[in-house]
Amino acid sequence: MAHGSGLGGRRVAGTAAVALGIAGAAVVTAGFPGLLAQASDDVALVARARGIHDRVLVLDTHNDIDPGHFTPACNYTQRLTTQVNLPKMTDGGLDVSFMIAYVGQGPLTPEGYDNAYRMAVAKFDAVHRLTEQIAPTQIGLALTVADVRRIAASGRKVAVIGIENGYQVGLDVRRVAEFYDRGGRYMSLAHNGASQLADSNTGEATQTWLYGGLSPLGREVVGEMNRLGMMVDVSHPSKGAMMQMVALSKAPIIASHSAVRAVANHSRNMDDEMLMALKQSGGVIQIVGLGSFLKIDPPQRATAIADLRRQLEVRPPRRAPLPPGPPPCPVEAPGATPALDEPDPGVAALPADRRAEYGRRLAVIDAQWPAARASVRDLVDHIDYVVKQIGIDHVGISSDFDGGGGIEGWTSAADTFNVTLELVRRGYTEEQIGKIWSGNLLRVWGAAERVAKEMAAGRRR
């Protein structure tokens, strides 16, 4: 049945999504026992949250992918170590995954553009392979808002393709239409480092800007995206580029995976002026579950760790030659729990005595300048801020899973219910939670579709 913001069938709650160990009034959530337990979490509250989570359409706008996990022998029908796959989406009640055709920024040369194009096409092809050949009865590719609702109503999971970095467009604006035809439904114009289309937020550190916002080609690309009905994504580009995209775009814009600068002062986050511009465009910011954007380490910590690594000569180890053939499929061991912190191979390669010294000195740094460990509560703090500043209609959720995302309480798609539980704790209603999880994003996507139709009919210039 349709409720809240979208359509979704009943889901079977997996043990990884939430384990209710109610002793008195306490709740134990999967992966981090006791992390989200609160005295107010009685049986009725958790049951109400579970009902809401089952009824609304749960949509995540940013999940990175590796084409190697989209083959007949190794794919998302299996419980891989990836943070997103079909078993984990089922466990956590995640209905819609925007799978990302991401390419990192490289040289602004013909060779660089060609390489970026090939890498992007491999990711488009991977999603088509999953939805058309490997698992068409389990997941479908949505090209329109109506497709999202139709596929979800059929009981299948939904894939949508987003494009991260306009680098792969090269100098040929016609590639925007090609990427749209391949399924791309949003695109950011830059990543880390300026592209041929836009400055990046990373220029802020040195105040280095190639264009002061958008390049002339970038302006042309925004118009082409409007013509096609592709959402304009302002995550990663500079503030100057973002403000220019808002001014140029005839359709509302999105920030597919960003957070709030007033809460966590990072150049990837949006300040209040940007939030207000986003609201005025009718757009939506998808608050991202990536720890360093939600909570900032003390500045002294990075300096102290860099000094420690230099003094103990911690260096990345030499890579062993890869064995011939494809890499082994990363099937997750039964009962495995995702880790937020990966082992440091440079430290592991140290002699035993220096490795022990590193551990002792790092403990001192940890005590003096503790690392900021972001959790689901911090994620919802950012949501609360956006709601207070610009309203409930302009905020959504993304994870950046398999691209750096993952916070305490939401380490994979299997833990997605924990986000809804925290929203219920904060007093959000089912209607509001439906907007946050998908309604707002689908509204913006629908507006982009309408603008494209009006432009085609000559009713909008």
Task: Catalogue the E-assigned strands of 337-418.
Answer: 395-398
The encoded tokens of residue 368 equal 């003096």
Q: What gap in Å lies between CA 431 and CA 423, rounded to an integer?
A: 12
Give 428-435 contacts, CB < 8 A, sequence gap 24+: 430/3, 430/4, 430/52, 430/55, 430/56, 431/4, 432/392, 433/4, 433/52, 433/56, 434/3, 434/4, 434/5, 434/6, 434/55, 434/56, 434/57, 435/4, 435/5, 435/392, 435/393
Mean pLDDT, the chain, whole residue set: 91
pLDDT of residue 439: 98
pLDDT of residue 36: 52
For 372-426, the pLDDT digits (tens) are 899 999 999 999 999 999 999 999 999 999 999 999 999 999 999 999 999 999 9
Whether 14 shows a pLDDT value over 60: the answer reads no
Residue type, 61: T
Whether 16 shows a pLDDT value over 70: the answer reads no
Answer for the pair 54, 111: CB distance below 8 angstroms, yes or no: no
pLDDT of residue 337: 76
Where does the pLDDT of residue 325 fall: very low under 50, low under 70, confident under 90, or very high at 90 and above? confident
Whether 32 shows a pLDDT value over 50: the answer reads no
In 3-state terms, what secondary structure has residue 375?
strand
DSSP H or E run through 287: strand 284-288
Whether 96 shows a pLDDT value over 90: the answer reads yes
pLDDT of residue 343: 81
Whether 28 shows a pLDDT value over 70: the answer reads no
Strands 157-164 and 184-188: parallel
Answer for the pair 394, 18: CB distance below 8 angstroms, yes or no: no
Residue, of 291 and 335, whose pLDDT is higher: 291
Residue, of 451 and 319, whose pLDDT is higher: 451
Task: Give CA angle at 88 (429, 421), nearest 5°.
Answer: 20
Q: What gap in Å lies between CA 432 and CA 37, rounded to an integer?
A: 23
pTM beyond cutoff 0.75: yes
Phi–psi pair at 218, nearest 5 degrees:
-60, -40
Q: What gap in Å lies between CA 244 and CA 263, rounded to an integer?
A: 24
The share of the chain scoring above pLDDT 90, in percent, equals 83
Q: What gap in Å lies between CA 340 and CA 331, rounded to an integer?
A: 18
**Of the candidates 162, 148, 143, which has an alpha carbon nearest to the alpha carbon of residue 234?**
162
**Contacts for 99 with CB less than 8 Å, ≥ 6 apart:** 63, 65, 123, 126, 127, 159, 160, 161, 162
pLDDT of residue 327: 87
Question: What CATH class is the domain 57-294+376-456?
Answer: alpha beta
Write the DSSP symbol of residue 62. E
- The alpha carbon of 402 is separated from its chain's Cα centroid by a whole number of angstroms, namely 9
Domain edges within the chain: 57-294+376-456, 297-313+345-371
Whether 319 shows a pLDDT value over 90: the answer reads no
For 191-218, the pLDDT digits (tens) are 999 999 999 999 999 999 999 999 999 9
